[in-house]
Amino acid sequence: MQKTITTLDIPIGVKEQIYWIEVIRGLWITNRHFWVNMGRHCAKALGFQPKERAAATYQYPEERRPVHPRWRGRHRLTLKQNGAMRCTACMLCETVCPSDCISITPGESPDPAVEKFPERFDIDILRCCFCGMCVEACPLDAIRMDLQDWTQVGYTRDIIYTKEFLMGIDKNRPWEEWCVKRLREGDAQLKDAA
Ligand code: SF4
Ligand code: SF4
């Protein structure tokens, strides 16, 4: 099928046609923002409290903007002290998920004290709407979203979070230690920003 291309005829005013007027206007706006912010930063450094906060720039990706401690981001499956997963494949999170993105395959647990465990536990992260209902529904605190990490899909295109990834035993990222470290970093950044 042939595509139809629509072209818009936007009228250009005299100011835009002269060109230099717009260039000077752009430079004026950039400089105004720079000096206003510089003034606010200097005032704060000298102990004054400016009415409006100065704009801050984060050197992303080395420096990340701190998120609220209660913010819900990347999922993880919690572990018992012996390293076994808490999840007993009760299917509550899968049932309650409004995006239908959790997929659990239950199996018989090797631990005689536990009836079932998930042989597979996958989350299709592109479908997730981060509502947190899976966390709320879990009766065993087996799934959390407390990693303060908002990078969901990277260059490696990890779109399906597997059980190993969610447990933090994949990719050398033990969640428990990583989580504590990130939370401490986040606390420090929040204090600095205050
Ligand atoms: S946060 Fe919501 S949408 Fe995402 S997996 Fe949990 S219940 Fe499903
Ligand atoms: S994570 Fe919690 S709610 Fe989901 S299957 Fe495991 S025990 Fe049940």
Cα 145 to middle of ligand 1, angstroms: 10
Q: What pLDDT score does 191 carry? A: 59
Question: 130-165 pLDDT, tens per residue?
Answer: 999 999 999 999 999 987 777 666 666 668 888 988
Share of the chain residues as helix, strand and coil, in percent rounded to the nearest 5: 35, 10, 55
Share of the chain above pLDDT 70, in %: 82
Q: How far is residue 145's CA from residue 136's CA, in Å, rounded to a whole number? A: 10
Distance CA(187)–CA(35), nearest Å, equals 30
Q: Whose CA is nearest to atom 4 of ligand 2?
A: 93
Structure confidence at residue 67 as a pLDDT band (50, 70, 90) = confident
More confident residue, 28 or 172: 28
Average pLDDT, integer, range 41-54: 87
Residue 12, number of CB atoms within 10 A of its CB: 8
Average pLDDT over residues 39-63: 85
CB neighbourhood size of 58 (10 A): 12
Report the nearest atom of ligand 2 relative to the CA of 94.
4
Does the N-terminal peptide bond of residue 61 adopt cis geometry, omega within 30 degrees of 0? yes
Q: Are 102 and 134 in contact (CB under 8 A)?
A: yes
CA dihedral of 29, 30, 36, 41, whole degrees rounded to 10: 160
**Cα of 133 from ligand 1 centre, angstroms:** 6
What one-letter code names the amino acid at 109?
S
Question: CA angle, corner 186, sides to 183 and 188, nearest 5?
Answer: 110
How many CA atoms, within 13 angstroms, populate the side-chain half-sphere of residue 29?
Answer: 5
What local confidence, expressed as pLDDT, does residue 105 receive?
A: 96
Q: How far is the CA of 152 from the centre of ligand 2 (A)?
A: 21
| Residue-wise pLDDT tens digits, 82-91 | 878 899 999 9
Rounded CA separation 122/181 (Å): 25
Report, as an integer, the average pLDDT of 46-56.
84
Beta strands 116-124 and 102-108, pairing class: antiparallel
Write the pLDDT tens digit of every residue in 71-111: 888 898 988 888 788 999 999 999 999 999 999 999 999 88
DSSP state at residue 31: H
pLDDT bracket for residue 115 (50, 70, 90): very high
Of 33, 36, 30, the closest CA to residue 50 belongs to 36
